Each structure stands twice: as C-alpha cells, then as structure tokens.
Amino acid sequence: MNKFALIGHPLGHSMSPLIHEKLFNLSGLSDTSYELIDIAPEDITGSRGLLESLRGLNVTIPHKQTVISLVDELAESALRYNSVNCIGNNGGRLVGYNTDCDGFLRSAELLPIGGNVAVLGCGGVGRMIAIEVARHGGNITLAVIPQDVKNAQLLMAEILAKCSGASVRIADISNLDGSYDLLINATPVGMYPKVDACAVSDTIIENSSSVFDVIYNPTETLLMKKARAMGKTAVGGASMLVYQAVKAHEIWYGGSFTPEDISKIIADVENAVDSMNK
C-alpha cells in the first residue's frame, strides 16, 4: 500500500483527507491511504524514519521549517520561502517543496496579480502572496496593523532583495486608501466563527476591481459577500487549498486532473465546510 499523510501539531479538523482521497480516486489509485499524523515539536527531529515510510506527505504548522533538516533536497519553491509543506519520496530520497505558492497562483490565475495589489497582512501566507505578486510584476501595498509594521518592513526588504525593481509600500490597514486592481485578504479577519468581521472598509472594496480571500471557512466571507454584491469578482480560499493539493499529487506520482475535476473537488470542499458549520 502507498501511504501518504499530513504531519503537524496540533491537528484538529482538516480538509486534507477529503481532498486527497478524491484526487487518489480520480487517478485510479485504490491501494493508497492518507492519514493525519500528529508529531509534537520536540519529536520532529527524530522522525526521518517515519517520513521515509511514506510515499509522500504534506507538512503544516509548526513543522514547515524544522523538516528542512530532514530532507535530502529542496526544490526551488521551498528554497524561495525557506518553508516546506510537501515532501516527495523518490526511492528513499526526500525532496521538499512549497506548493502553497502554486495553490495561490493557480487559484488566482484569472485575477490581475500583476497590477496594483493590496495585500492585507504580512504573516506566513501574506508573505508568500506578496512575494509571488512581486515576482509577477505587481505594485504592492502591504496593509497591516500597527503591531505588524516591523514585520512588514522586513518583508518589504525581502521582496526588494528577491525581486529587483519591485514596487512596495506599507500602509496602516485602518487608514488604507487608494484604488486597487486586486485586494487580497491574508489575515484571519472574517474566519469562522467570527464571520461578521471584515478587514477593510466598504470604500476600499468599492475601489478594488477584484478580491481574493485566503480564508476557506466560511466559504464566502463577509469581504467576499460585499465584493460580489458590488459586482466584483471574488475568489475564496477553498480553491487555493485544493490547488496546492493538486500540485502535491503531480509531484508524488505525476497525477493529472482536468479543470472540471478540480472544480468539482472545490465545490465538494465548500459543501463540506458549509455542512460542518450548520
């Protein structure tokens, strides 16, 4: 049997088994299993044997950096972010990847990431998104709370070092103004159960052509609802979640899926999230 897993700590409810089992089924791989393995931070350094026993695995908090010492090679995506969320096992040789960036780029491929882009937040996912936007020529406004200004300054310096000629500025999220081709929420504001929260004013939403929200629970955040009510395109986090998993299957065994297959899984994930919240 080909064994796959998600490792992290703590592991609560996860959409990963649902997504990966559907992808395995679409690939006709019946002799597979996908499990959640909770590994405490103090135990991760001794887990090389466990990793070798798996055909492939996903990695989540808090192990995305610590597993780097356990793999034999880092793909360019993992080197770019110094972060691993996917490991492929090539005959005992472990290769680390970052598929979060693929998940974002594929789910946002119809959005204007090369235009004027406001990124709300500068944490892990916000950092990745801001760097990808810069790599694709976007003009970035990092909109953060006052406590995160220093982190935003560090991110700005990282972007300028990695992307020569990039355009980056920092703004207070409560005083954000201007107009944007794309507004990206990379904060937890609006996440279940605090679904009545929105990170920016209606004016900013009105002045943005499109919206991307990394949150997948709820499937339609208040930010997305407001944007759609104004006639804007709004994409939610379920698509990013599914697309990063799709990339993992491409890595693990050369999986291939149609756009229709992927759209169906995204809908299944959204339905599962909605049912979970009832």
Instruction: Render pLDDT for 106-117 as a digit per residue (tens, 0 to 9).
Output: 999 999 999 999
How many domains in the chain? 2
CATH number at residue 140: 3.40.50.720
* 135 and 204 housed in the same domain: yes
- Our answer to whether residue 64 is catalytic in this structure is yes
Residue from 3, 22, 64, 278 carrying the catalytic annotation: 64
Verify cis geometry, omega within 30 degrees of 0, for the bond prior to 112. no
Which amino acid is present at 243? Answer: Y
* 230 and 256 housed in the same domain: no
The whole-angstrom separation of Cα 144 and Cα 187 is 9
> Is residue 13 pLDDT above 90, yes or no?
no
* 82 and 43 housed in the same domain: yes
- State the pLDDT at residue 261: 97
* 11 and 136 housed in the same domain: no
> What average pLDDT does this structure show over 246-274?
97
* 126 and 44 housed in the same domain: no
* 125 and 228 housed in the same domain: yes
DSSP state of 208: B
* 152 and 227 housed in the same domain: yes
**Residue numbers of the domain that contains 60:** 2-98+239-276
The per-residue pLDDT of the chain, averaged, comes to 97
* 223 and 108 housed in the same domain: yes
Contact 206, 182 (CB under 8 A): no
* 86 and 170 housed in the same domain: no
* 90 and 112 housed in the same domain: no
* 54 and 81 housed in the same domain: yes
Segment holding 259, helix H or strand E: helix 259-276
- State the pLDDT at residue 30: 85
- State the pLDDT at residue 122: 97
Tell me the pTM: 0.95
Residue 75: how many other CB atoms lie within 10 Å: 17
- State the pLDDT at residue 187: 98
**Residue with tokens 């990808």, as numbered in its chain:** 132
Tens of pLDDT along 134-151?
Answer: 999 999 999 999 999 999
CATH number at residue 77: 3.40.50.10860
Which amino acid is present at 173? Answer: I
* 122 and 225 housed in the same domain: yes
Triad 23, 26, 29: Cα angle to 5° = 85
The whole-angstrom separation of Cα 179 and Cα 157 is 24
Nearest by Cα to 248 from 20, 15, 78:
20
Tens of pLDDT along 87-132?
Answer: 999 999 999 999 999 999 999 999 999 999 999 999 999 999 999 9
